[in-house]
Structure 1
Amino acid sequence: MTPPKKLLLTGVTGYIGGDAFVTISEAHPELEYTLLVRNEQRAKVVREKHPQDNIRVLYGTEDKSYLDVLEEEASKTDIILHTADSADDMSQAKAISSGIRKAGDRGADNLIYWIHLCGTGILQWYDEVNHRFGEPPLSSEIYDDIASLPRLLTLPDEAMHRDIDKLVLATNHYSANVKTAIVGPPTIYGVGRGPVNTVSQQLPGLTRFILQNGFAPSVGTGLTEWDNIHISDVSSLFLALVSAALNPIQGHDPEIFGLQAYYFCENGRPHVWSKVAVEIAREAVKQGYLKEVVTKTIPADDPGAKFWGINSRSVASRARKFLGWEPKGQSLEESIPSLVEIEAKNLGAKKL
């Protein structure tokens, strides 16, 4: 009898990893799951949420560090889904790549699939270098993950997340045992279903700023654009990749896994940050937390300018074409009422 395939997940206590695990584990109960968390306290929370026999929860100790556990488990698994600070923590990426090397050549039918979470912050490099704060996106800086692949694979080293992307991609060269896929979502919204963190960063952060400061911020001319996606659609893309890794045909398709496997994840409805800020402020007025909608321009050196003042535009052609993926979640605009309600409650804001 063939033993069940194994999946290693980092970041189950995070927003993206937590929701992705719910989606994947419901669709693939036949897999053996190892969930790696940072400490015993988080492990306890996860075990209470997911007590199933096919789920192991591990964490680092004084005797064996988190990175040591990560390296060891990466060498023994079939699928790695890395979402725990994956875009920026080089030490974890190195531990995974080292573990894959230690696994050796397991044969063409027994590969390791490394699904790596990045982000479209990597696409902000041009605006940042050229100080284009608050400007609309240039058509040349809208990246399609099929048509623009040569550019994506050769982005400058100063681009955010680029150093780790290079390490992940290089793994395809030094080991015939691994196939990689890099997933770069844009602004993510919606309430997640994970055991700990259920909200994202960008939109909740903007909402808190508006509630605390009483105005909707705009950077420069206020024309900065990002793409967006509901958390459930991010999880459905991860599910599609896990399912492809389990498929003997898709698992060997170089368009799905390998050097070409760079995936964006957007719903075709890009947003202008200044307009979203106004909609949040309008909803805050409607719910009674603000008296009126006020807009103010913030300078380029404001901490929020990097989040709301530099473009990041992407086109998710690869997942649509090769995995049949299509986003189905509610729109960003539809999520704003609950977003304001949640963040007002978190802040302890009082209605006027």
Structure 2
Amino acid sequence: MATKLLLTGVTGYIGGDAFHVLKEAHPELEYTLIVRSEKRANAVREKYPDDKNVKIVVGAADSYTTVLEEEASKTDIILHTAESADDVPSAQAIVAGILHAKDRTATNPIVWIHLCGTGILMWYDQLHRRYGQPPLPSETYDDITSLPRLLTLPDSAMHRDVDKIVLSVNHLTPAAKTAIVAPPTIYGVGRGPINTISQQLPGLAQFILKNGFAPSPAPTGLTEWDNVHVSDVSSLFLALVEAAVNPNQRDNPEIFGLSAYYFCENGKPHVWGEVSAKLAQKAVEQGYLKEAVTKLVPFKELTVKSAALNSRSVASRARKYLGWEAKGPELEGELAGIVETEAKRLGVKKLEETV
């Protein structure tokens, strides 16, 4: 019998790219894709027509969690990416589905791969209103050596409420195993059927194009994040799905279970003030701005507020246990394309066209 995989978020940026990679690598899997409207379902059908191994289920707003619970009880692997990091009802529905699943044991578990994000690591700066400052040494988290700290982050941390729900199912039944994947800043064009664009960098480019200057988080602009290409996030999901069908890896508590927090970075962190300035320079080179001006901007005026808060992560677990490595294009080479794309989306004209 073919392995069944339930995916939420196929019309989203990360879920859409992940499904593209999974479908190419493993067309033999039986996929169930939950979408929130018939319009979105049709877009998926257009991209994946007449595929007997792809079932699309519509879960509208009033029935989404009911549908999700039912489908979660019937699958082997759950890949949850649809607004997953902060959607408490969806996480609770998945837990309920797993607990209601029939004929599941520790040797035949449901594997839940959950998309979170390294926004969870901003908690210290948020708590102390430490905006626009460089990171402290204690603000770097390794997903192996810092695991005790990750498992005891304060409840006020972003995404923490949902992460606790995901982790709880490991205590509730031996027939469930989990992995939490937390990427940092993601860039690159996705390969899904609808949303192919990320949020942070495009949002920053939009601010620059609308306001005519690069915002740098006050007071220093030295906040840092890690980053990763969307294709590398998808390759980690692929590695986890392949591990889920391999009993030797599936039953390894370092790969699935309470220890299975996965960061996902390329080892080349960025400083937000510097990235903002580079985006402005690209806007100048493309003719949208006369000059690249940088201004320190208070937290409350930033449209991309995460740029004012540190998030530093080290992806040791995926490298050690799954052989994963980041191989996608580097961030700097993507900046020009981000500016060009956002200028077109905003309808911004080049300076020579406004004369």
Return the alpha-carbon distance in structure 2 between the equivalents of residues 91 and 224 of structure 1.
33
Shift in Å, 1:108: 3.2
Shift in Å, 1:287: 0.4
Q: Determine if the alignment matches structure 1 residue 94 to structure 2 residue 83.
A: no
Return the alpha-carbon distance in structure 2 between the equivalents of residues 160 and 187 of structure 1.
15
Q: Which residue of 1 aligns with 2:27?
A: 29
CA contact (8 A) 2:10 2:193 kept: yes
CA contact (8 A) 1:134 1:221 kept: yes
Shift in Å, 1:105: 5.1
Matches within 5 A, 1:140-151: 140-151=138-149
Q: Which residue of 2 aligns with 1:211?
A: 209
The DSSP-based 3-state class of the residue aligned with 2:301 is coil
TM-score, normalised to structure 1's length? 0.97
Q: Which residue of 2 aligns with 1:12?
A: 10
Q: Which residue of 2 aligns with 1:267?
A: 266
CA contact (8 A) 1:33 1:56 kept: yes
Return the alpha-carbon distance in structure 2 between the equivalents of residues 305 and 53 of structure 1.
42
| Alpha-carbon spacing, 1:137–1:105, altered in 2? closer, same or farther (3 Å) | farther
The DSSP-based 3-state class of the residue aligned with 1:199 is coil
Shift in Å, 1:61: 5.1
Q: Which residue of 2 aligns with 1:296?
A: 295
Shift in Å, 1:111: 1.1
Matches within 5 A, 1:248-287: 248-287=247-286
| Alpha-carbon spacing, 1:305–1:60, altered in 2? closer, same or farther (3 Å) | closer
CA contact (8 A) 2:107 2:175 kept: no
Q: Which residue of 1 aligns with 2:243?
A: 244
Residue identity matched to 1:328:
K
CA offset digits 1:259-313 (Å, max 9, x no partner): 0000000000000001000100000000000000011111122243622111000
Return the alpha-carbon distance in structure 2 between the equivalents of residues 71 and 236 of structure 1.
27
CA contact (8 A) 1:133 1:305 kept: no
Residue identity matched to 2:127:
V
CA contact (8 A) 1:31 1:54 kept: yes
Return the alpha-carbon distance in structure 1 between the equivalents of residues 304 and 250 of structure 2.
41
The DSSP-based 3-state class of the residue aligned with 1:274 is helix
The DSSP-based 3-state class of the residue aligned with 1:350 is coil
CA contact (8 A) 1:299 1:305 kept: no
- How many residues get paired? 349
Return the alpha-carbon distance in structure 2 between the equivalents of residues 145 and 105 of structure 1.
33
CA contact (8 A) 1:37 1:43 kept: yes
The DSSP-based 3-state class of the residue aligned with 1:70 is helix
Which sections of structure 2, spanning at least 5 residues, go unmatched? none
CA offset digits 1:132-159 (Å, max 9, x no partner): 1111001111000000000000000000
CA contact (8 A) 2:182 2:264 kept: yes
CA contact (8 A) 1:104 1:177 kept: no
Shift in Å, 1:25: 1.1
Return the alpha-carbon distance in structure 2 between the equivalents of residues 153 and 104 of structure 1.
30
Which sections of structure 1, spanning at least 5 residues, go unmatched? none
Return the alpha-carbon distance in structure 2 between the equivalents of residues 85 and 69 of structure 1.
16
The DSSP-based 3-state class of the residue aligned with 1:127 is helix
Shift in Å, 1:349: 0.8
Return the alpha-carbon distance in structure 1 between the equivalents of residues 148 and 303 of structure 2.
31
Moved more, 106-115 or 68-77: 106-115
Shift in Å, 1:212: 0.5
- How many percent of aligned residue pairs carry the same amino acid? 68
Residue identity matched to 1:330:
P
